Amino acid sequence: MTQPTFTDYYSILPFTILIAWACLLLLVDLFIPKDRKSVTASIAALGLAVTLGYGVSQFGKSVTGFSGMVVLDGFSTFASVLVLVSGLFGVILAYGYARRMNIQRGEYYTLLLFSVAGMMLMAQAADLIIVFLALELLSIPLYVLAAYSRNLESEEAGVKYFLLGAFATGFVVYGSALVFGATGTTSLTGIFFAASNGTPSLLLSIGAALILVGFGFKVAAAPFHMWTPDVYQGAPTSVTAFMAAGAKIAGFAALLRVFSVAFPTLSADMTNILWVLSVLTMIVGNFVALSQTNIKRMLAYSSIAHAGYILMAFVPYGNKDVIASSVAAGLFYLMTYVLTNFGAWAVVISLEKAEGKGLEITDYAGLAKKYPTLAAAMTIFMLSFIGLPPTLGLVGKFYLFRSAVSGGFIGLALIGVFTSLVSAYYYLRVVVQMYMKEGDPVIEREPGLAFTTTLTSVVIVVMSFVPQWLFLLASQAVLK
Amino acid sequence: MEFLLQPLTLLTFFPLVGVLVILLMNEEQKVAIRWTALVASLMTFGISLWVLQSFYAAESVTGAAGALHLEAKYAWITVAGWNIYYYLAVDGLSILLVLLTAFLSPISLLSTWTAVEDRVKEFMIFFLLLEVGMMGVFLAQDLFLFYVFWEFTLVPMYFLIGIWGGPRRMYAAVKFFLYTMAGSILMLVAILFLGIKTDTFNVPTMLARLPDLYATGAIDPRAQMLLFIAFAAAFAIKVPMWPLHSWLPDAHVEAPTAGSVILAGVLLKMGTYGFLRFNIQLFPSATIAAAPWIALLATIGIIYGAAVSYAQQDVKKLVAYSSVSHLGFVMLGMFALNAQGVAGAILQMINHGLSTGALFLLIGMIYEQTHTRDIKVYGGLWKITPVFGTIMLIASLSSMGLPGLNGFVGEFTILLGAFGSKAIGSPWYAGISAAGVIMAAVYILYMFQKVFLGPAGEITHHHELKDLNVRELITVVPLVVFMFWIGLYPAPFFNLIAPAVEKILSALPL
């Protein structure tokens, strides 16, 4: 083992900044009085913003560190930026909400920072050991956050998430062990070389499949999605919003890297499995969402459905001609999803009242008459989820289905568009309530919520007219 | 600046100026909001006349007749293997529809003057947005751009039906939305497939590249047929062709008057226009193979629509089903694939917009006073409201195709084309469809007789019914003028269409 060099530290610098900031915040928070937790939130947001600023400056760089265990490349930078933006929204949404729901404690923000750091590391992981480390670092704070409300539902959510999450991590670890057994290495490139030189081994296939199961759980892909509705519904809404975005980005980033770097040799089998997984996830998510009456549960199933769409981008992962555009499409769709997701959850938080009131879809009746801008923003989010103009959702779906068709998976694209049609029904239900029914909703006016809904809705609409820049970013974030 | 001053860009997006102004206004300033919307749409109409003049100028250049004119073309998304252009242009296939859209929009807005009292601001915003979408559909020459506009029209129309519609408006709005989207998602996959195969979304470029792909077998005949069907699914639902029409009566009946006028007048034409612009040109051999089948469906639609119309007790529903019948004629003429048939089909699209638009406007005017559309409760209306009755009579006669009015010219040309069509292969379709003209006379005159003649009915008796006022006259008289103009002297209209029709037909391997 050689001494770590400057390059090694440089490769994990963004991650280090955030971890250091989180540790400091943990200490500083002890001296901040209970009624002034806004300071903690601001410091946390500042830390994320600083890391984000530094992260953005890393675009175009490509560095490998710690004997190839960690890489910093376009892909990891893109994913890290997305994760950091999610973290920022997570803090912004949480601040007013936590005070209103009486769960304002400083640890919230510290845990969030640790989790974001874990997600960033996940995007950089080039070794199964690092994948495991990152997975634990991002998951454990999320388990705690899910149970943060200390009421029955929240505790149930935390325990459920923890037990099933620990189980899923077990799958990843066991899978990694089998892969190590088959190839004698945990380095992703090492696995690829060992696998392409040796005979195809059953052990390697089983190991890869187990890893897929573990991450399928993290990104809420069917049939590993069972925990999602309960956890999303029980967890504090600001946590749900963060979890729905952050955990998905990290999970998909890891899946993409592990599969396309380490397991291209297995693509003949894995492509079929991923195809089935993607189709199943789209169908289960969209069809079960149809019957939901609680908006948090509906959005939970919608998040399952969107995992299915993103999985589409993985299906042709062994095909060298299309994988580049496919990865770009997947990342672009993730970004679209993240923006829409936070916008929609911000609206949910605006209407949520204590003790889980204000969360039925019928509670949105009459919103358009009383709060026209909020209803208009929610409409934009719903249209973006469906994939209709003038929103980024349309561009994202267009990109995604295009890469599926160009990979020769026309059937997959057809299933994708049909399930989008199904999804139109339940997303429109929200619009029907807001615009076409009478009601008298009352919203909480918080600057953070107004900021989030305005920013995301404007970006979603404006960027749909000029998506070139985002395309360029996504297409440069290609895995080597 | 140069980008914004292109005539077609200006025409498409000018209503947005109205939207922006209205956004700044207070919900309570209803009159000012209405005027703003009206002025914006009138100015759009003015721009469309400018476009028409430029179109004439461009057509008269030697050798340019029938080509795409007034092109506005800019690279839009050309990174990461994408090849998408912002590309608007107009030709003989679309110029009349563009004018119709610009013409019907202010008329529809005028009809809402007293009919829409609730949430006026939102209504006007959605309406103007809808106008942008419709213009875009008729002008876009890039498939991605077209798809964006095509899907976008769904959103404002959904709100127009769902918020300001009748008692079952939510059901009708969602049904309209899902039906239309069901078709367009298939088209989306086909667009992606074509885009990947030809490496462009730009329609003229695609048209230049496709023959090679067909010749080399890169897209085999079976694939071409599937692509044809995928596009046809989107358009056939919109037209609507039998048996995909079931959303139409619901949407028409529940929509507010202005919504029905635009729905019948313009939105349905997006379907027929789509067949003309995309199906026939992009998939020539599939078009010829499918022509007899489309003719069959069109004929069934003509007879079925007419028969069902006759059975209706709700005037609006009657007119709605008559649209199924009339658009059957349009489809029959178009897939006759000869000069008469296609030209007649294009003219009939305009005719249907004028006559059905007028009928919906007139029904809306009387409904505003009586709040019922039940044929049974009317009767003897002509005596009380002679002006209303006269205009209704003209619109009805135009709709049923009386010589001297516009409907006759369109239907006659279509039947002429369909009789001699090689593509359809049998004169029987035209023969049976001709019966549809007679049936139209039956259901329309039946309705007219029950409502306007005979002894005074319940409603006519008990209501103080007023005849049309000046605003209502201004709303419908322009339509009547065109009914006579096209009926008596259709040559200028045919001259606009003919070169473009010849051009697309000459590309077909008939």
For B66-95, write each residue's pLDDT tens digit. Answer: 788 888 888 888 876 788 899 999 988 899
**B248 vs B381, which has greater pLDDT?**
B248
- The size of chain B, in residues, is 510
The minimum CA-CA distance between B38 and chain A, rounded to whole Å, is 23
Give the per-residue pLDDT at A1.
54
- For chain B, the structural domain boundaries read 283-510
Burial class (CB in 10 A: 0-12, 13-18, 19+), B358: buried
Q: Residue A199 above 90 pLDDT?
A: no
Give the per-residue pLDDT at A316.
84
| Residue in B137, B143, B181 to test binding to A, most A beta-carbons within 10 Å | B181
Q: What is the pLDDT of residues A345-398, one digit of tens each?
A: 999 999 988 777 888 999 999 898 889 999 999 999 999 999 998 899 999 999
Q: CA angle A437-A439-A441, nearest 5°?
A: 130
Q: Please spell the DSSP secondary structure of A90-118, one letter per residue.
A: HHHHHHHHHHHTT---THHHHHHHHHHHH
**Which chain B residue has its CA at the smallest distance from A410's CA?**
B189
Q: Is some CB atom of chain B closer than 8 A to the CB atom of A319?
A: no
Separation CA B365–CA B377 (nearest Å): 16
Determine whether the interchain pair B192/A388 forms a contact, defined as Cβ–Cβ distance below 8 Å: no
Copy the structure tokens of residue A411: 């059937």
Q: What is the pLDDT of residues B213-258, one digit of tens each?
A: 888 988 888 999 999 999 999 999 998 898 889 899 899 888 888 8
Q: Residue A480 above 60 pLDDT?
A: no
Q: Residue B194, CB half-sphere, CA atoms under 13 Å: how many?
A: 32
Give the per-residue pLDDT at A479.
64
Separation CA B278–CA A175 (nearest Å): 51
Q: CA angle B355-B125-B157, nearest 5°?
A: 50
Determine whether the interchain pair B178/A468 forms a contact, defined as Cβ–Cβ distance below 8 Å: no
Which amino acid is residue B297, in one-letter code?
A: L
Determine whether the interchain pair B151/A472 forms a contact, defined as Cβ–Cβ distance below 8 Å: no
Determine whether the interchain pair A468/B151 forms a contact, defined as Cβ–Cβ distance below 8 Å: no
Q: Are A283 and A423 in contact (CB under 8 A)?
A: no
Give the per-residue pLDDT at A445.
87
**Which chain B residue has its CA at the smallest distance from A428's CA?**
B174
Give the per-residue pLDDT at A33.
87
Give the per-residue pLDDT at B118.
84
Instruction: Please identify which residue in the block is written with the tokens 């994202």.
Output: A396
Residue B270 is given by DSSP the state H
Q: Is some CB atom of chain B closer than 8 A to the CB atom of A331?
A: no
Copy the structure tokens of residue B353: 């917009």
Beta-carbon contacts of B236 under 8 Å, excluding residues fewer than 6 positions away, are: B183, B244, B271, B297
Give the per-residue pLDDT at B165.
84
Q: Is some CB atom of chain B closer than 8 A to the CB atom of A290?
A: no
Q: Is some CB atom of chain A closer than 8 A to the CB atom of B13?
A: no
Q: Residue A477 above 80 pLDDT?
A: no
Helices (H), A32-73: 38-56
Determine whether the interchain pair A417/B185 forms a contact, defined as Cβ–Cβ distance below 8 Å: yes
Q: CA angle B480-B481-B487, nearest 5°?
A: 90
Q: What is the pLDDT of residues A73-104, one digit of tens each?
A: 888 999 999 999 999 999 999 988 888 888 88
Q: Residue A214 above 70 pLDDT?
A: yes
Q: Residue A342 above 90 pLDDT?
A: yes
Determine whether the interchain pair A432/B169 forms a contact, defined as Cβ–Cβ distance below 8 Å: no
Contacts of B195 in chain A (CB under 8 A): 402
Q: Residue A463 above 60 pLDDT?
A: yes
User: Does B490 sit behind a cis peptide bond, omega within 30 degrees of 0 on the bond before it?
Assistant: no
Q: For strand A63-65 and strand A70-72, is the pairing parallel, antiparallel, or unpaired?
A: antiparallel
Q: Name the CA radius of gyration of chain B, rounded.
A: 22
Determine whether the interchain pair B119/A389 forms a contact, defined as Cβ–Cβ distance below 8 Å: no
Give the per-residue pLDDT at A356.
77
3-state class (DSSP) for residue B312: coil
Determine whether the interchain pair A417/B77 forms a contact, defined as Cβ–Cβ distance below 8 Å: no
* Range from A323-332, A443-452, B64-73 carrying the lowest mean pLDDT: B64-73
ipTM of the complex: 0.91
Give the per-residue pLDDT at B158.
92
Q: Are A78 and A117 in contact (CB under 8 A)?
A: no
Separation CA B149–CA A389 (nearest Å): 8
Model pTM score:
0.93
Separation CA B374–CA B464 (nearest Å): 18
3-state class (DSSP) for residue B3: coil
Distance of CA B368 to the CA centre of its chain: 25
Q: What is the pLDDT of residues A236-275, one digit of tens each?
A: 999 999 999 999 999 999 998 899 888 888 888 888 999 9
Q: Are B487 and B406 in contact (CB under 8 A)?
A: yes
Helices (H), B335-462: 339-370, 381-384, 386-400, 406-419, 428-452, 458-462
The minimum CA-CA distance between A231 and chain B, rounded to whole Å, is 31
| Residue in A415, A436, A460, A475 to test binding to B, most B beta-carbons within 10 Å | A436
Contacts of A390 in chain B (CB under 8 A): 148, 152
Q: CA angle A338-A342-A346, nearest 5°?
A: 175
Q: Are B420 and B495 in contact (CB under 8 A)?
A: no
Q: Are B160 and B109 in contact (CB under 8 A)?
A: no
Q: What is the pLDDT of residues B143-184, one digit of tens each?
A: 999 999 999 999 999 999 988 988 888 899 999 999 999 989
Determine whether the interchain pair B151/A418 forms a contact, defined as Cβ–Cβ distance below 8 Å: no
Of A328, A424, A436, the CB nearest to B80: A328
Q: Are B380 and B452 in contact (CB under 8 A)?
A: yes
Separation CA A227–CA B18 (nearest Å): 49
Determine whether the interchain pair A413/B144 forms a contact, defined as Cβ–Cβ distance below 8 Å: no
| pLDDT averaged over every residue in chain A | 90
Give 3-state DSSP helix, strand, coil % of chain B, rounded to 5. 75, 5, 20
The minimum CA-CA distance between A468 and chain B, rounded to whole Å, is 5
The minimum CA-CA distance between B66 and chain A, rounded to whole Å, is 31
Contacts of B80 in chain A (CB under 8 A): 325, 328, 471-472, 474-475
Q: What is the pLDDT of residues B387-418, one digit of tens each?
A: 888 999 999 999 888 888 988 999 999 999 99
Q: Is some CB atom of chain A closer than 8 A to the CB atom of B80?
A: yes
Determine whether the interchain pair A410/B174 forms a contact, defined as Cβ–Cβ distance below 8 Å: no
Distances (CA, A) of B218 to A424, B196, B213, B214, B223: 35, 12, 5, 6, 9
Separation CA B105–CA B128 (nearest Å): 8
Q: Residue B117, CB half-sphere, CA atoms under 13 Å: how many?
A: 3
pLDDT band at B1 (very low <50, low <70, confident <90, very high): low
Q: Residue B458 above 90 pLDDT?
A: no
Contacts of A405 in chain B (CB under 8 A): 189, 192-193, 196
The alpha carbon dihedral of B422, B427, B429, B435 has a sign of positive
Separation CA B44–CA B7 (nearest Å): 11
Determine whether the interchain pair B152/A372 forms a contact, defined as Cβ–Cβ distance below 8 Å: no
Beta-carbon contacts of A192 under 8 Å, excluding residues fewer than 6 positions away, are: A261, A262, A263, A264, A265
| Residue in A421, A427, A434 to test binding to B, most B beta-carbons within 10 Å | A421
Instruction: Please identify which residue in the block is written with the tokens 């919906």.
Output: B360
Q: Is some CB atom of chain A closer than 8 A to the CB atom of B183?
A: no
Q: Are B168 and B254 in contact (CB under 8 A)?
A: yes
The predicted model gives A445-462 an average pLDDT of 93
Of B82, B152, B173, the CB nearest to A390: B152
- How many other C-beta atoms lie within 10 A of the C-beta of residue B35? 14
